[in-house]
């Protein structure tokens, strides 16, 4: 009887650890989408960003550029590098970026009393398809 109790206790402890360990890894809970590193690393220094909402282009929309990821707004870095406004096609181009670095692009849109926020953190910002921010 004692050995059976010890086995049940061991199983319960193992189940308890299995369900609590993932919670320890949830400290970086933010809504940023991070893409894997491209290979080879792009050499461009500009990022074309397209901002959309409900599949439509957002013209005259402020888009913010932060350094990497971290403890800043929406899981971005803490340094706001630049804010630019989209054109009639919902696009904006950030220039002077360093190849291979992670940048965080974000916008917030208030519509009907609801705030929509799009965040993309990536080091693949120089790809030919650019960065798509969408809500």
Q: Which DSSP string do the residues of 81-96 spell out, in sequence order?
A: EEEEE--TTSEEEE-S
| Residue 103 structure tokens | 């940048």
Question: Structural domain boundaries of the chain?
Answer: 33-134
Q: List pLDDT tens digits, range 87-128.
A: 999 999 999 999 889 999 999 988 899 988 999 988 888 876
Give the per-residue pLDDT at 39: 52
Interatomic CA distance for residues 57 and 134, integer angstroms: 9
Place of tokens 């926020």: 117
DSSP H stretches of helix in the chain = 2-24
In the predicted structure, residue 5 carries a pLDDT above the cut 60: no
| Burial class of residue 117, CB neighbours in 10 A (0-12, 13-18, 19+) | middle
Q: How many residues does the chain have?
A: 135
Return the CATH number of 33-134, one of 2.60.40.10, 3.40.50.2030, 3.20.20.80, 3.40.50.300: 2.60.40.10
């Amino acid at each position: 009887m004692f050995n059976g109790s010890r086995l049940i206790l061991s199983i319960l402890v193992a189940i308890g650890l299995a369900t609590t360990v993932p919670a320890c890894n949830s400290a970086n809970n933010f809504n940023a989408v991070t893409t894997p590193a491209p290979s080879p690393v792009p050499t461009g220094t500009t990022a074309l960003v397209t901002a959309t909402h409900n599949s439509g282009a957002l013209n005259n929309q402020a888009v913010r550029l932060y350094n990497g990821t971290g403890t800043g707004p929406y899981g971005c870095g803490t340094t706001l590098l630049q804010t630019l406004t989209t054109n009639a096609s919902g696009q904006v181009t950030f220039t002077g970026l360093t190849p291979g670095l992670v940048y965080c692009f974000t916008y917030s849109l208030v519509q009907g009393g609801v705030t929509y926020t799009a965040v993309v953190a990536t080091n693949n910002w120089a790809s030919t398809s650019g960065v798509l921010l969408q809500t």
